Structure 1
């Protein structure tokens, strides 16, 4: 079934919001700019979202809807971890990185926005590790109870640091090193 005119308008507004967040950041985002980019009226936007925070939250939620896909099952913990790290890297280098940078400062000052970004952009990554670890424990590869939240936080921090701080490549060789030298040793030592 084809999307309705209202659904098309909503998609255009949310897409424009994401683009502007990535380009100019939350602080510079205005409803006027979103309306102009989406070719919509401000009245249309305000009928659906009461303000900039609600609009940004809706855009982040829409952006991450496909990100909560099931964790890959390659048959081994190392294979699953590499698939997860590859997915995280690809998401980060495509659009999420610019989006997160556009939101970082605002997250410090806006609790609702921070909660939504943490839940969607960070929470999805955190939750992706749990099935891989559960499968590995069921196969006897690792002890039960590995801390998937810590692993996701460490992996995210290292990918983010590499992309924005050191500027070094996020290539497959780095992902192999990250899995073998950091994540797998943590898995074996990080039980709750």
Structure 2
């Protein structure tokens, strides 16, 4: 039942955006009553947050293991390009009222959606360390976030899929040179 409610809320959210989303419309789409929704989520912000969490978890980006740090980061960004485009556009363009009503912002929302789990880029770096491509501690937390943040920026300004050559440039022209600088510093 909860999945059906969250799926209905997702469709409403993508069609109308946060500001025009109503509990009544979600209930109608799910074939239930407003009371059923309010028992689970006391307000629209909680429903939207639960909907985003459900959608992200149900459409997970697969963990790449191409055999190289470069290949894994490129594969991660390309998979996110395919699987997360609609979600990213919604988060960037259709949740203005949510940020205001929930007194939050994009960075805080991303932290809630991510939760306590390590990000996939951390797992990719651990794989690279295990393969001997990089040394433990060679890639700082800030450098590790660079490909994700640049990819997110490209999505935000384009509002369409990031071209493969741009993804390659993020990895080859920015991320990997920073990784190599980290290796020189640790020598």
TM-score by length of 2: 0.78
- Distance in 2 of aligned mates of 1:72 and 1:44: 39
Query: Residues 15 and 150 of structure 1: is their aligned pair in 2 closer, same or farther, counting only changes over 3 Å?
Result: farther
- Distance in 1 of aligned mates of 2:17 and 2:140: 33
- Distance in 2 of aligned mates of 1:30 and 1:133: 42
The one of 130, 144, 147 equivalent to 1:151 is 144
Query: Residues 165 and 39 of structure 1: is their aligned pair in 2 closer, same or farther, counting only changes over 3 Å?
Result: same
Which residues in structure 2 correspond to 1:1-192 (within 5 Å)?
7=1, 10-66=2-58, 71-93=63-85, 95-101=86-92, 102-111=94-103, 117-119=109-111, 121=113, 127-145=119-137, 146-148=139-141, 150-152=143-145, 154-166=146-158, 170-189=162-181
53-62 or 16-25: bigger deviation: 16-25
- Equivalent residues, number: 182
Q: Deviations over 1:12-68 (max 9, x none)?
A: 221121222223222222211211222221112112221112211211111111455
100-109 or 30-39: bigger deviation: 100-109
- Distance in 2 of aligned mates of 1:42 and 1:147: 48
Q: Is the 8 A contact 2:18 2:98 kept in 1?
A: yes
- Distance in 2 of aligned mates of 1:63 and 1:23: 15
- Specify every segment of 5 or more residues in structure 1 that has no aligned partner in the other structure, as ranges: 1-6
Which residue does the alignment assign to 1:4?
A: none
Q: Is the 8 A contact 1:77 1:133 kept in 2?
A: yes
- Distance in 2 of aligned mates of 1:34 and 1:113: 24
- The secondary structure found in structure 1 opposite 2:63 is coil
Q: Is the 8 A contact 1:77 1:132 kept in 2?
A: yes
- Distance in 2 of aligned mates of 1:129 and 1:159: 13
Q: Is the 8 A contact 1:22 1:98 kept in 2?
A: no
Cα-Cα RMSD: 3.2
- Specify every segment of 5 or more residues in structure 2 that has no aligned partner in the other structure, as ranges: none
TM-score by length of 1: 0.76
Query: Residues 87 and 169 of structure 1: is their aligned pair in 2 closer, same or farther, counting only changes over 3 Å?
Result: closer
